[in-house]
Structure 1
Amino acid sequence: MWQTFALEMDEKRPGFAKGPWFTMNTVLTLDDRLDADRLATAFHRLQQRHEVLRTEVSSDRLQLIHPEPRSSLELVDEVSSHAPVDIARPIRLRLAGNQLALHLHHMVSDPVTLWETVTELAALYTGQELPPPAQYTDYTTAEADQVRRTSKEAAAWWHSKIRDTKVSPQPSSTGDPLAYRDDLLSAQEVAAVDALTKQHRSTPLVTYLAALAHGMDPHVGPGDTLAFTTLFGKRDRPAWQHLLGPCIVPSYLAIPRVTGSLAADVPAVRDAVVGCSRYARYPASAIYATIQDPQRTPFFEYVPQQWPTGFTFGTVKAEVATAAGPKDTGLADALAIRVRTRTDGVLTGHFSADGTDWTEPLVHQVRAGIRDYLLHEEGT
């Protein structure tokens, strides 16, 4: 479902999903030198073990699984947080002195895949014997089966939630494309909001969604529900916890209009998130017919801080220096807001849009509304 969704995006914005910068990336700092030959052998074995690392997503949507690894360890002078990855060879590993960089094309990976790939690479370098892995083919087959088994129940739920949902009319303004990052909350403010979230027996995703709905409310038209597109991680079976491959389901969030009080908003937003996640596998195409202009629906994603504490390559210790998702290449479409908590505790946001409705001044107003809602609630 993730790959289909990404390819549909690429059809509208050529190069967005199949391009070389649509990647998941990390750079590790090593406390000693790695044996390059040993690392190259471990990297080769890693690709042999996992079909998804030998998979080419072709232009006609076929999955071509190559019989042998097609990527080799690269010895370079320096590494960076982003590097282009050919979709035909979806993994790159680069070593420069005491830094090791891994880059995976996002068509065959997600954040969990990034960290699991490093974990297994370190184990193979160390010489550990690993059991045969689950393959991504198994996951996609199981997902298709679940879609078939739950289609009626999911259709009934979505019909009850979406039939009266009006994607609020976008602001009638135009401007330049925008793509920028900005801090939303300080570490101290994040800690206070986290405490408030626990007090309401909720999650950060629910809290930040309620705040976003509040921030957008003055700038959109009337409607009982705000609709967003989002991504749900679906590693909801033990067999998928350590699977390499994108276990992501694109779907919608049907969020009730907020009242202005977190205590009142949390139950309704939480119920909406739970329901949207439970029935996320319902094909988006079936929802399109009931949502006005679904392609312009704003995108929202909350990414919790999930960097591992470190890895061990034999006697060499490795720490995460940085991690990054796809590089912004100026192919933004509808408004997209991604927020995450950095290692220093600061909540930061990435905002992008093509400027045909949500312009940068309006987005700054939304950002101010998010802060106003959260900081008013916590009383600072």
Structure 2
Amino acid sequence: MTEGQAAERLAGLSDRRRELLTRLLAQKAAATAIPRLPRTGAPPACSHEQRRIWLATQATPEAAPANVTLGVAVTGELDLVRLAAALGALVTRHETLRTRYTAIDGLPHQVIRAAQPVPLELVDLTCLPEEDREAEALTLALTAAGERFDLVRGPVLRLTVYRLGAAEYRLFLVCHHIACDGGSLGLVAADLAALYSGSDLPPPASPEYADYAAWSAERARERVPERLPYWRDRLAGVEPVFPRVPNRGGAGRGSATSAARVGRDVVDGLRRGGAATPFTVLLSAYLVLLHRLTGRRDLVTGMVTSGRGRREIEPVVGCFINLVPLRVTLPDGFPALLTQVKEAVAGALANEIPFDTLVSGLGGHRLPGVYPAFQAAIVHRDDPAPPPGWDGLRTRVWEHEVDDPSFDLGLTATPRGGEYELALTGRLARFTQADLADLTARLIGILRDPAV
């Protein structure tokens, strides 16, 4: 029963029955609520999402998931003392932002601290010619976005302020992915603005991330035995989309990104009267691109899910995203492909389990240099909302690109007004910048003429 349906039913009942149904609904909600862990001082276990990131960081630091970043362009008299106080209050407010990590019996655990100093650095660029300051700030921010954090010592985030003029600044917050995901950035931006402005905020979210970690682990223990057979059958005999990454020496390290935009009308024109979602259309076009690139029709890609299916964790800052494999055999014709993709997505989501559990449950020999289960992935993001108002300041989203070297090839689709921004990020061990620019142009061409 949805909240709207519940409210409609309550409105049509007598006072006595309304009170009784209200109690029953409250009891049901309490029975399924995420319980709060006792804070005894013992380090709680990490979530499956955190464990996947931590293990990747320990095994191959250069291929670990990228940091998440938040950029805000500020015009006005920015008070750095107030900003530093707001940053400290932000970290105090959210447990995951003041958490360090330690290994116990080979697995990561959370060390939640009462307080955690956070670096705030001012970089004054006013010594440069005015026309060069924005580009230099962006270059420095991109470098800062790739710098790694010490998860054992902390902290897991830092804030840099680039001063471009007497009343012109760029704020750039970088946070390790183990503590924050893209869905949390809106929460962080809103809270930082409110704390800077001295606004009253509601109490911190309850449950907090450590509570979610324990609850989700228990839920996974219940679901994995019944869902793992689906994945063993679905991914049986699967081969890597790309072979092992060739060794290009120092020139092959890192990744690069190429981006282009296509009108939403182009994407909507392929939705067959709304029967397919924009995500289905974009994923289908991406599969056609992979088919043309590899010559294969049996393809496995990865899909990133938000992991925020419960309302009570919507205000929680943390890492909730999961990776879900999608196996599709490309048919003849784009309309048939849309149907195949819809069915694959529905089946995958109905049987979703934590990705690290899926990989270990499949067994088999892991190939060095090959990402498990899939090597190409897609992320569909929300239209980035402008940052909330700051007291006495004008702000806007500060655009920037952050390369993620986790996959051989990744597509990030972001709606921006009347367009979709499509960014292809590839590992330089496999693709050059020119290769990625060519692939981006080919992807746009497929959307305009989607022949399989």
Moved more, 365-374 or 190-199: 365-374
**Alpha-carbon distance, 1:139 to partner:** 1.6
| Corresponding position: 1:320 with 2:393 | no
Counterpart in the other structure of 2:149: 86
Would the alpha carbon gap of residues 150 and 333 (structure 1) be closer, same or farther in structure 2, given more than 3 Å must change?
closer
Structure 1, unmatched stretches of 5+, are: none
The alignment's C-alpha RMSD in Å is 3.3
Would the alpha carbon gap of residues 373 and 301 (structure 1) be closer, same or farther in structure 2, given more than 3 Å must change?
same
Counterpart in the other structure of 1:6: 53
Would the alpha carbon gap of residues 264 and 100 (structure 1) be closer, same or farther in structure 2, given more than 3 Å must change?
same
Assess if the C-alpha contact under 8 Å between 1:259 and 1:265 holds in 2.
yes
Assess if the C-alpha contact under 8 Å between 2:232 and 2:362 holds in 1.
no
Out of 44, 51, 55, the residue aligned to residue 95 of structure 2 is: 51
Question: What one-letter code is carried by the residue in structure 1 that aligns with 2:351?
Answer: Y
Counterpart in the other structure of 1:146: 219
Counterpart in the other structure of 1:37: 81
Question: What one-letter code is carried by the residue in structure 1 that aligns with 2:234?
Answer: K
Would the alpha carbon gap of residues 226 and 38 (structure 1) be closer, same or farther in structure 2, given more than 3 Å must change?
same
Q: What CA distance in whole angstroms lies between the structure 1 residues aligned with 2:435 and 2:159?
A: 41
Q: What CA distance in whole angstroms lies between the structure 1 residues aligned with 2:348 and 2:212?
A: 21
Assess if the C-alpha contact under 8 Å between 1:93 and 1:103 holds in 2.
yes
Map 1:224-239 onto structure 2 (within 5 A): 225-239=298-312
Q: What CA distance in whole angstroms lies between the structure 1 residues aligned with 2:322 and 2:271?
A: 25
Structure 2, unmatched stretches of 5+, are: 1-47, 126-136
Moved more, 89-98 or 360-369: 360-369
Moved more, 339-348 or 315-324: 339-348
Counterpart in the other structure of 1:376: 449
Helix, strand or coil for the counterpart of 1:322? coil
Q: What CA distance in whole angstroms lies between the structure 1 residues aligned with 2:407 and 2:76?
A: 45
Counterpart in the other structure of 1:196: 270
Out of 378, 383, 400, the residue aligned to residue 301 of structure 1 is: 378
Would the alpha carbon gap of residues 150 and 193 (structure 1) be closer, same or farther in structure 2, given more than 3 Å must change?
same
**Alpha-carbon distance, 1:218 to partner:** 4.5
Counterpart in the other structure of 2:387: 310
Q: Deviations over 1:129-174 (max 9, x none)?
A: 32222321122122112212222331243234223x5225646995
Out of 319, 337, 352, the residue aligned to residue 410 of structure 2 is: 337
Counterpart in the other structure of 1:113: 184
Would the alpha carbon gap of residues 290 and 362 (structure 1) be closer, same or farther in structure 2, given more than 3 Å must change?
farther
Q: Deviations over 1:47-77 (max 9, x none)?
A: 1111111112346633222221221543331
Counterpart in the other structure of 1:181: 257
**Alpha-carbon distance, 1:179 to partner:** 3.4
Out of 190, 196, 202, the residue aligned to residue 125 of structure 1 is: 196
Q: What CA distance in whole angstroms lies between the structure 2 residues aligned with 1:24 and 1:299?
A: 20
Would the alpha carbon gap of residues 152 and 47 (structure 1) be closer, same or farther in structure 2, given more than 3 Å must change?
same
Would the alpha carbon gap of residues 99 and 359 (structure 1) be closer, same or farther in structure 2, given more than 3 Å must change?
closer
What is the TM-score normalised by the length of structure 2? 0.70
Would the alpha carbon gap of residues 196 and 24 (structure 1) be closer, same or farther in structure 2, given more than 3 Å must change?
same
**Alpha-carbon distance, 1:85 to partner:** 5.5
Q: What CA distance in whole angstroms lies between the structure 1 residues aligned with 2:321 and 2:224?
A: 18
Q: What CA distance in whole angstroms lies between the structure 2 residues aligned with 1:115 and 1:298?
A: 29
Moved more, 109-118 or 2-11: 2-11
Out of 164, 167, 171, the residue aligned to residue 239 of structure 2 is: 167
Q: What CA distance in whole angstroms lies between the structure 2 residues aligned with 1:175 and 1:24?
A: 28
Q: What CA distance in whole angstroms lies between the structure 1 residues aligned with 2:333 and 2:365?
A: 27
Q: What CA distance in whole angstroms lies between the structure 1 residues aligned with 2:396 and 2:422?
A: 22
Q: What CA distance in whole angstroms lies between the structure 1 residues aligned with 2:319 and 2:406?
A: 22
Q: What CA distance in whole angstroms lies between the structure 1 residues aligned with 2:201 and 2:220?
A: 36
| Corresponding position: 1:280 with 2:352 | yes
Q: Deviations over 1:314-360 (max 9, x none)?
A: 232321122444x46xxx5752222223647353322313646x788
Would the alpha carbon gap of residues 56 and 172 (structure 1) be closer, same or farther in structure 2, given more than 3 Å must change?
closer
Q: What CA distance in whole angstroms lies between the structure 1 residues aligned with 2:169 and 2:432?
A: 43
**Alpha-carbon distance, 1:368 to partner:** 6.3
Q: What CA distance in whole angstroms lies between the structure 1 residues aligned with 2:75 and 2:406?
A: 42
Helix, strand or coil for the counterpart of 2:305? strand
Question: What one-letter code is carried by the residue in structure 2 that aligns with 1:277?
Answer: L
Q: Deviations over 1:16-55 (max 9, x none)?
A: 438xxx3212221223223222222222111111111111
